[in-house]
Amino acid sequence: MTNGLLEGKRIVVTGGASGIGRSVAQVCASAGARVAVADLDRGLAAAAIAELPGSGHVAVALDVTDPAVVDTAFATCAAELGGIDGVVNCAGIWKPREDGPITRVTDETWDKIIAVNLTGTFNVCRAAVRVMEPQGAGSIVTVASVVAITGWEKLNAYSASKGGVLSFSRALAIECGTKGIRVNCICPGVIETPMTEKVLAYSQPTVLPIGRLGRPEDIARTAAFLCSDWAGFTTASTVVVDGGFSAA
């Protein structure tokens, strides 16, 4: 059953084997898109596409920190899907035990988080623009976090990486506007996924105006809208999806 919002669209989802990315793949496929799920483990990516409605979906192995691997993966996706209309950057890491206090943050932790979250987003967006520019059309969705706006005590590298994703997304949107490529950044609040489940098991945010934690589909539906033609005048936007958390 599809709702047709993304009928005929071809969408690549990084980090699509888990959490928010997996939900993005499901929502986009349900809306009529053919989806490429790109993740570290090809087997998990294949398991994710096996659950999707519709046909013609693709699973690819991808480490976003390796630019050559990203370029090859995007060439594969473009060839197998016949082009790429949308890219949703969901690959990311969060290391709350290692990311603070600052005097205990190692160089390795800092480098790893920046490499995956920020440089990885750059690598993926560059590969996406290389495919979309000759098409004259495309939509790129980046995924930062509310911490890109608020910062978060003892999440030093993560906050920096997500602040970088937000600024980079705006810069890229300005550059790409007249190329027909829209770029928008979603800032999720606290979403129940494999990334957060251990921490949420013993500590939950107390101030959530909407009265519940976020679900992966809360972010996925926003991403699907941003990939769709209904968002045709929406670019360089920061879309906060946090149940009111950052305002409270």
Residues marked as catalytic:
158
Q: Which residues pair with 13 in a beta bridge?
A: 37, 88
Q: Judged by CB, which is closer to ligand NAP: 134, or 150?
A: 150
Task: Give the number of residues in contact with ligand NAP, rule: CB under 6 A.
Answer: 30
Q: What residue has token string 């919002």?
A: 5
- The answer to whether 41 contacts ligand NAP (rule: CB under 6 A) is yes
- The answer to whether 21 contacts ligand NAP (rule: CB under 6 A) is yes
- Answer yes or no: are the C-beta atoms of 226 and 130 closer than 8 Å: no
Q: Scanning residues 76 to 105, which ones bind ligand NAP (CB under 6 A)?
A: 90-94
- The answer to whether 195 contacts ligand NAP (rule: CB under 6 A) is yes
- The answer to whether 164 contacts ligand NAP (rule: CB under 6 A) is no
The Cα–Cα gap between 78 and 72 comes to: 10
> In whole angstroms, how close is the CB of 143 to ligand NAP at the nearest point?
4
Which of residues 2, 65, 234, 246 is near ligand NAP by CB under 6 A? Answer: 65
Letters for 126-145 (x = contact with ligand NAP by CB under 6 A, - = none) are: -----------------x-x
- The answer to whether 191 contacts ligand NAP (rule: CB under 6 A) is yes
- The answer to whether 193 contacts ligand NAP (rule: CB under 6 A) is yes
Q: What region, left, alpha or beta, does residue 244 occupy, with left being phi > 0 and alpha being psi -120 to 50 degrees?
A: left
Which of residues 37, 60, 64, 113 is near ligand NAP by CB under 6 A? Answer: 64
- The answer to whether 243 contacts ligand NAP (rule: CB under 6 A) is no
The Cα–Cα gap between 19 and 17 comes to: 7
Q: Judged by CB, which is closer to ligand NAP: 47, or 137?
A: 47
- The answer to whether 238 contacts ligand NAP (rule: CB under 6 A) is no
- The answer to whether 39 contacts ligand NAP (rule: CB under 6 A) is yes
What is the Rg, in whole angstroms, of the alpha carbon atoms belonging to the chain? 17
Name, in order, each residue with C-beta under 8 angstroms of 229's C-beta and a sequence gap of 6 or more.
Answer: none
Which of residues 5, 11, 18, 57 is near ligand NAP by CB under 6 A? Answer: 18
The Cα–Cα gap between 81 and 34 comes to: 7
The distance from CA 33 to its chain's CA centroid, rounded to whole angstroms, is 17
- The answer to whether 188 contacts ligand NAP (rule: CB under 6 A) is yes
Query: Can the peptide bond before residue 209 be classed as cis, meaning omega within 30 degrees of 0?
Result: no
Token couple for 162: 């997500």
Residue type, 86: G
Alpha-helical runs (H) found in 145-209: 147-150, 156-176, 197-202
Residues at the interface with ligand NAP (CB under 6 A): 14-15, 17-21, 39-41, 62-65, 90-94, 116, 120, 143, 145, 188, 190-191, 193-196
